[in-house]
A and B are shown apart, each in its own frame.
Chain A
Amino acid sequence: MAQYTTHDFDVLVIGAGGAGLRAAIESAALGAKTAVVMKSLLGKAHTVMAEGGAAAALRNADDRDSWETHFRDTMKGGKQLNFFRMAELHAKEAPDRIRELEEWGAVFDRTPNGLINQRNFGGHTYPRLAHVGDRTGLEMIRTLQDKLVHMAAEIFMETTVTHLFKTSDKICGCLTYSRVTGEFHLFRAKAIVLATGGGGKAFAITSNSWEYSGDGQALAWRAGAELMDMEFIQFHPTGMVWPLSVRGTLVTEGVRGEGGVLLNKDGRRFMFDYIPEAFKNDVAATEKEAEQWVAEVAAGKLATVRRPPELLTRDVVARSIRAEVQAGRGSPHGGAFLDIATRRTAADIQRKLPSMYHQFKQLANVDITKEPMEVGPTCHYMMGGVKVQAENGMSTVSGLFAAGEVAAGLHGANRLGGNSLSDLLVFGRRAGWGAAEYAKTASAPSVNEAEVAKAIEENLASLSRKGGENPYAVHKDLQDMMQDNVGIVRTEDELKQALGALDELEKRVDNVSVEGARAYNPGWNLAMDLRSLIVISRAVTLAALERRESRGGHSRIDFPSYDKKYSKVNHVLYNQNGQMALRADALPEVSPELKPFVEEA
């Protein structure tokens, strides 16, 4: 029988991005015996990639802002499919969470009177994103990391979770392996917080790293927890498109927030042609009005006119770029031009967007202070995920919590830029609190040894199997299939094809062989990640098939507009004896005091 080491904790946090670190800080502060496990090294999680900022109605840059406006913007951006209570808590608590980061040492960019500065972003009525140039995520993760290392929490780096365990329907622990040694570790825990991020690695063109294999969603679903809103995937409008090796790498929305414009190959500023009816009143009607807005904002004044259409929500901008490319008006490498060079001075660009400047200079030989960038949509974020309670982040399984991208509810059908970093802080803290509170009354967990042995056997199968497929080849086929059939625009036929293809791919995943031993073997690690990718790919496809309308991050060619029938339902995916089943749940009724801030969609 395979060997493993056992550890005991009150609260185990899986993942060390913003949500995981914030959850661990809260849990440890409340006195729970806390540990964090992470697939990478501490401080490397995907949060470091977040560029633009964290949205919070601090009212430093424009005192017309309020939590109510932030709430309204979030619901509107989410096409009213958000869990209103999450959007409410988020809008109310985000300012305190940002100020708390400052108290822990974060150094945000400043306003002229010495407060945290805030920038404009798509879908936010007022300048609302606390930021540090274009490396806000790095600032956040470093601040949280340095806070956590001085607290009583244990940190397990390069450790991947493969199985969750339950006793009498409550979470009791999980099996992990150390990537460095390949050895197995069993964590017994009274409560587990999933903070594992998304699953962008199911798609070929993505801004996500290898870590993003949907582990948390898949672990939760296997353990009997429900997933929600999985059809909604955010394709960020601006990823790099050239060279091919960096296709998908993120280009921050901050470029547009600082005045960057999107042009087609004929030099036309095409976003004016794609303003949806619902946003007509929020967006500049002419280029002149848009220019005035940029001039006012760049001068540090309050905007007196409406914002440029480039700052429409991400779903709208991504679809517009795609439409231009489809119509034959794309840039040479199949994207659109994003021009900041003719809009701001070289000095401004280098100060406000330093990492974009270096990224293009180094990877694409493009000087963004002199030439336009070429950009196109890239799979960026999953709005859906584990269904949780707003107050404490608990899933439908007792003792299993989730926060951040792995959780669903806050963002509805489409996330606003900047709402992710504040999501991590607000709901990371709440899940950490929820888990620590839950652990107080939970009994000491015990894990069934036979289940552990079986899990280990499953993990080792690919190493002993001979003549099976290469996991990299299976992964590539999965990514291409999902990109083609379940990507930025979808049809009934392609989605049905995808379901068939997933059955085939699942069989192939179960038949991969890997070479070598267990210590730091990326082939073996991928073989295990593939199992999660299959689960989330199926969840996305099933939910996308069922939603016969277009809304937010879900676009159907065969059903191109909103359908009232779906305007108040979330699709929930649950585990029915090992099969994935779907049901439509009615959206919770918005509380009377918040009614004035929501619109019909």
Chain B
Amino acid sequence: MPRTVKMKVFRGEKGEGAIHDYNVHIDDGMVVLDVIHRIQATQAPDLACRWNCKAGKCGSCSAEVNGKPSLMCMTRMDSLDLEKPITVEPLMTFPHVRDLVTDVSWNYTVNKRIKPFKPKAKEADGTHRMFQYEVDRVQEFRKCIECYLCQTVCHVLRNHGKHEEFAGPRFMIRTASLEMHPLDVEDRVPFIKEEGGIGFCNITKCCTEVCPEHIHITDNGIIPMKERVADRYYDPIKMLFRVLTGK
């Protein structure tokens, strides 16, 4: 039903600012991003927000809607309690730029530290053979749209600010997608243990809950990578074997 709603939107620069109130007329089926656009077009043309595809495929419009990190383009207004004001704030885990925009460049820096894909040699007929059952789990991780909602909710980053020591869920599964790639011959287990800081994750699964692509970040990505780290570094029998054989 078309109606007027009260929006409380954070406005300001570099963390300094305040919540501004806007009364907005909304129509059927609108999402939060539509409402932000309507505010831009009619009340505050300089209201900053990042967006692109408006279809949940590019991961640009992440913000905290009523305190919950969400994609604004996929959050329908009728899924919210419209009797109360709707709050829209920038992601808390990254440095603030302006209004709803944050500086997510740290994520790009982390990504660059992960060793690139390194394929094994092609088969004799010049092809690479991989079977669907082998690539299913890698394809799950590669669905990631880099919205960084998982990074935003992860308490290791959000509450403890361990950006220097912990790569965050996004890059745990990015590493997993390379490590589990049937053609890849690189070794990133030392990276994920040391620089990646996988030990900081205590499997609260907040990342999985918030993932708009429904990737099982913890169960299918982080836990198997933790197992690889444990196998390599903490398995007493393997440690003994390594000492004896020198491998």
Q: Residues of A at under 8 Å CB distance from B?
A: 40-46, 48-49, 102-105, 107, 109-110, 113-115, 132-133, 135, 138-139, 142, 146-147, 149-150, 157, 180, 209-211, 242-246, 249-250, 354-355, 358-359, 362-364, 470-473, 476, 514-517, 519-524
Contact = CB atoms under 8 A, between A and B. Distances in A.
B129 A472 contact: no
B40 A105 contact: no
Contact of A103 (B29, B76, B119): B119
A556 to B, nearest CB: 32
A44 B59 contact: yes
B45 A471 contact: yes
A424 B145 CA distance: 20
B91 to A, nearest CB: 13
Given A142-B142, A514-B45, A109 B50 contact: no
B98 A519 contact: yes
B247 interface: no
Contact of B139 (A115, A132, A209): A132
B27 interface: yes
B200 interface: no
B155 interface: no
Contacts of A114: 129-131
A355 B59 CA distance: 14
B60 interface: yes
A157 B109 CA distance: 13
A358 B52 contact: no
20 contacts: A40-B58, A43-B146, A44-B59, A48-B57, A107-B135, A110-B130, A115-B127, A149-B108, A150-B116, A157-B105, A244-B29, A245-B27, A249-B54, A359-B55, A470-B45, A472-B40, A519-B13, A521-B48, A522-B45, A522-B48
A209 B53 contact: yes
Contacts, number: 163
A516 B45 contact: yes
Q: Chain B at the A interface: mostly helix, strand, loop or mixed?
A: loop
B229 interface: no
B247 to A, nearest CB: 28
Given A245-B27, A362-B76, A107 B139 contact: yes
A243 B130 contact: no
A146 B28 CA distance: 40
Contacts of B214: 358
Given A48-B57, A139-B142, A523-B40, A105 B52 contact: no
Contacts of B156: none
A41 B31 contact: no
Contacts of B129: 113-115
A446 B103 CA distance: 33
B56 interface: yes
A246 B54 contact: yes
Given A107-B181, A139-B142, A515-B46, 19 more contacts: A40-B50, A40-B58, A42-B108, A44-B58, A102-B183, A107-B142, A109-B139, A114-B129, A135-B57, A149-B111, A180-B97, A180-B101, A209-B51, A246-B55, A359-B55, A470-B41, A472-B41, A472-B45, A519-B13
A317 B178 CA distance: 41
B98 to A, nearest CB: 4
A473 B43 CA distance: 12
B54 A132 contact: no
Contacts of B22: none
B111 to A, nearest CB: 7
Interface in B203-239: 214
